[in-house]
Structure 1
Amino acid sequence: MTQRVELATVMDRVAVDALVTEYAVAVDDGAWDAYRQLFAPGGRADYRSAGGIEGDAEEITQWLTGAMELFTMRQHLIVNRQVHFETLDQDVGDTARVRADFINPMRFARGDTPSATEDTSTAPDFVCGGRYAFTLVRTGGGWRFNQVVVQEKWRRMKGASAPASGTP
């Protein structure tokens, strides 16, 4: 490899990593317009393993908007990112696959006036973890998601395991 090719690969790796981080921040902050912009035209996501839906970016955005209202605090931690660049139409590096683990602590929304027995801490009371499989494509506007698949492996609520409830 030449230095120019190596530099381009490093720059692509940084851009792909930034897109994954933007994904986590958009979901955690409820920035749904920003979330929608992370997808290439025709991009899809699959949250079924977490009790959610599978659909195009617009359908997923609408579902997330409602599902995330359950939580006042969300914090995706996406780690162990493995990035692989692939070919599209014989051009090296036009697609990428990222496999990454996640842990996602969240805090359920409470009423405006907590009762005397209600826990008012800001600590998470719902935590889930698993793996993301991201497929990305290079577009005129930079790297975008072509597909996001969530594989939830576990979840925990205060004091008990939680059944799938439609949360990512």
Structure 2
Amino acid sequence: MERLDVIDTCVKMAWHADQRQWAELAEVFADQVTLDYTSLDGGEPATLTPAQIVGGWQAVLGGYAATQHLLSHPLVVVDGDTALCTAPFQATHRKSDDTSWTLGGTYRFELARTGSGWRITAVVMTAAWNDGLR
């Protein structure tokens, strides 16, 4: 059951972002989250609050007419009150002019068990390919 709860938390991140359910999106994160999107943009990983993550994603994803983040084949390891979930992904970002940018790769989620359930403490997105223009 723990494995399914971990997967559910990770899928909720993608679902709430795509559905623009910002308050619900914030609830999947721990108080501090390390985000690492350096494989896409370079730079350094950032440690952010849920409000900072939601604000940033709202600004970026809000620039698209629609997005769809698909996670598949999750591999989960639960170790006491921590968990690791790794899953390939494909993310399509549809623009208002009917063009799109699609990105594929792997997500690695680190999670911690809290009194409110599993919460994401770190996300590492490793881009493997993309198609179209951002």
Q: What TM-score do you get using the length of structure 1 for normalisation? A: 0.71
Cα deviation code 1:73-132 (max 9, x no counterpart): 11111012100112xxxxxx211001110001221124xxxxxxxx5xxxx621110110
The one of 19, 31, 37 aligned to 1:41? 31
Contact 1:48 1:54 in 2 (8 A): no
**Percent identity of the aligned residues?**
30
Looking at CA atoms only, which structure, 1 or 2, has the larger radius of gyration? 1
Q: Which residue in 1 is equivalent to 2:53? A: 60
Matched, 1:76 2:51: no
Q: Provide the C-alpha distance between the structure 1 equivalents of 2:58 and 2:103, rounded to a whole number of angstroms.
A: 19
Partner in structure 1 of residue 101 of structure 2: 126
- Partner residue in 2 for 1:51: 41
Secondary structure of the residue that 1:70 maps to in structure 2? coil
CA distance, structure 2, for counterparts of residue 36 and residue 50 of structure 1 = 23
Q: How many aligned residue pairs are there?
A: 131
Q: TM-score, normalised by structure 2?
A: 0.87
Residue of structure 2 in register with 1:99 after alignment: 86
Match of 1:14 in 2: 4
Equivalent residue, structure 2, for 1:113: none
| Among candidates 126, 130, 133, match of residue 155 of structure 1 | 130
* RMSD, aligned CA: 1.9
Inter-partner Cα distance in structure 2 for 1:83 and 1:99? 7
Q: Distance in 1 between matches of 2:96 and 2:47?
A: 26
Instruction: Decide whether aligned partners of structure 1 residues 102 and 134 sit closer, same or farther in structure 2, where only a CA change above 3 A counts.
Output: same
Q: Which runs of 5+ in 2 are unaligned?
A: none
